[in-house]
């Protein structure tokens, strides 16, 4: 399967398992923005809270933090962090 197809299969597995939380690394990396938005909408409709990890703003392929309800940003110096709720 191609990378985008593999991402879609991973979302399908999450939706079938219906966990309360889903931990994902860069879940939209290989998926078009409109499809990514629909996938996250499906998670929400099924009561699944996505917790994602990425390097927002560090590479062109990363997702923009405004796509999420809240963002925890970890600083590179001395354990600084910032919590921003949408």
* SS3 category, 39: helix
Q: What is the pLDDT of residues 30-40, one digit of tens each?
A: 788 888 889 88
Q: What is the pLDDT of residues 17-55, one digit of tens each?
A: 999 999 988 887 778 888 888 988 999 999 999 888 776
Q: Indicate whether this model's pTM tops 0.85.
A: no
Residues 76 and 39: their CA atoms lie apart, in Å, by 31
């Amino acid at each position: 399967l191609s990378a985008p197809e593999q991402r879609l299969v991973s979302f399908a597995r999450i939706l079938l398992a219906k966990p309360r939380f889903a931990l994902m690394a860069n879940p939209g990396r290989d998926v078009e923005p409109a499809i990514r938005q629909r996938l996250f909408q499906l998670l929400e409709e099924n009561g699944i809270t996505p917790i994602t990890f990425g390097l927002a703003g560090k590479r062109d392929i990363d997702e923009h933090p405004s796509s999420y309800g809240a963002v925890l940003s970890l600083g590179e110096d001395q354990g600084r962090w910032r919590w921003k709720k949408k």
